[in-house]
A = this chain, B = another copy of it.
Amino acid sequence: MTLIIDCHGHYTTAPAAHNDWRDAQMAAFAAGDAAPAYPTIGDDEIRDTLEANQLRLLRERGADMTIFSPRASAMAPHLGDEAVATGWARANNDLIARCVDLYPDIFAGVCMLPQSPGADMAGSIAELRRCVELGFVGCNLNPDPGGGRFDSPPLTDRYWYPFYEAMVDLDVPAMIHVSGSCNPAMHATGAYYIAADTIAFMQLIQGDLFADFPTLRFIIPHGGGAVPYHWGRYRGLADMLKKPTLDGHVMNNVFFDTCVYHQPGVDLLADVIDTKNILFGSEMVGAVRGIDPQTGQYFDDTKRYVDALPIDDAQRHAIFEGNARRVFPRLDARLKARGL
């Protein structure tokens, strides 16, 4: 038996009161006032937003679990100051914790971080520790918290090291995931996300981060951006830069999800990237919600593409379950505690 674990789901359908509070928080910041109290949101309201969306689609598509994080495009840690970013991160993560509590067999939590640009990582470390105590199994780390100018230090810079130390200490991975784009030249889900994924991978090639953190684990979402399509280019650039081959240099620590919305793309991913580095993911409910007229199926029903891969059962088990349990040991422990 294989559990179908979607490693990449966002709570894009949070109750309106949650989003209204964000507006009120920002208005209070602009006015120089304290943020208002967070509203009371009933369990039923949370259930309704999940049942009508993520849970419905998960069941329709035959998946078992989702590793669940706040809406990525709304993280926007550049808005307000660090206190605003912290308040918003806590509100979002607490809401994810409630989703997990309501559906403990279906959701596992991944937290967002209060990465106010220019602040150090201390606030993010504190929020990560708080969330892991709440039962979260990973985090989303934003490599460009400024929101679209790529003006943060590369992921290999020592700026990030205290956070990596906490990740290693807690044994949690990070999905490298930007938020919405403030750059009119860059569409969020069509340009910024994919560009950021690609840029992050190249940073890792250029550096030697995993020599310093051999157990650090990153998931690069959206199928690794452009990386698998240009795998020859990246292998060749590692050679040009006198780096070790990618298998030892980065691919013990970097994983790609299957958020690639057509069969040829997922075929390529599985062809060039080792099975051990691929985690099933759909980004659902996410960037693309329509039906592909070429197939009659939802673009983001990526389980179909994985089901259709010409791989053996052991490989499919790894992509659907085994790799996620290896990359998220705290998820594995939760599943083992359930006898799975």
Residues of A whose CB lies within 8 Å of any CB of B are: 143-144, 148-154, 183-187, 189-192, 194-195, 198-199, 202-203, 205-206, 222-223, 225-226, 228-237, 239-240, 260-262, 264-265, 267-268, 271-272, 287-290, 292, 294, 299-300
Query: Known: A153-B185, A225-B226. Is A233-B202 also a contact (CB below 8 A)?
Result: no
Q: Within 8 Å CB of A222, what residues of B?
A: 230, 233
**Residue with the greatest number of chain B CB neighbours at <10 A, chosen from A148, A205, A206, A233:** A233
A33 CB, nearest partner CB in chain B, Å = 33
Contact: A260 with B229, CB < 8 Å? yes
Query: Known: A154-B185, A189-B237. Is A232-B260 also a contact (CB below 8 A)?
Result: yes
Apart from A154-B184, A187-B205, A222-B233, what are 17 other A-B pairs with CB-CB below 8 Å?
A143-B185, A148-B150, A149-B151, A187-B206, A194-B226, A195-B199, A226-B226, A229-B260, A229-B268, A231-B262, A233-B261, A233-B262, A233-B299, A235-B299, A236-B289, A236-B299, A237-B288
Contact: B239 with A230, CB < 8 Å? no
Select which of B198, B228, B290, B300 is within 8 A of A194 by beta carbon: B198
Contact: B232 with A229, CB < 8 Å? no
Contact: A272 with B264, CB < 8 Å? yes
A91 CB, nearest partner CB in chain B, Å = 27
Query: Known: A148-B150, A185-B151. Is A265-B195 also a contact (CB below 8 A)?
Result: no
Q: Within 8 Å CB of A205, what residues of B?
A: 187, 190
Q: Within 8 Å CB of A186, what residues of B?
A: 150, 199, 202
Select which of B198, B234, B260, B272 is within 8 A of A195 by beta carbon: B198
Contact: A185 with B203, CB < 8 Å? yes
7 closest residue pairs by CB, A with B = A232-B262, A226-B226, A232-B261, A236-B288, A229-B229, A195-B195, A191-B202
Cα A271 to Cα B265 in complex, Å, equals: 10
Q: Within 8 Å CB of A289, what residues of B?
A: 236, 240
Cα A149 to Cα B263 in complex, Å, equals: 33
Select which of B149, B237, B264 is within 8 A of A231 by beta carbon: B264
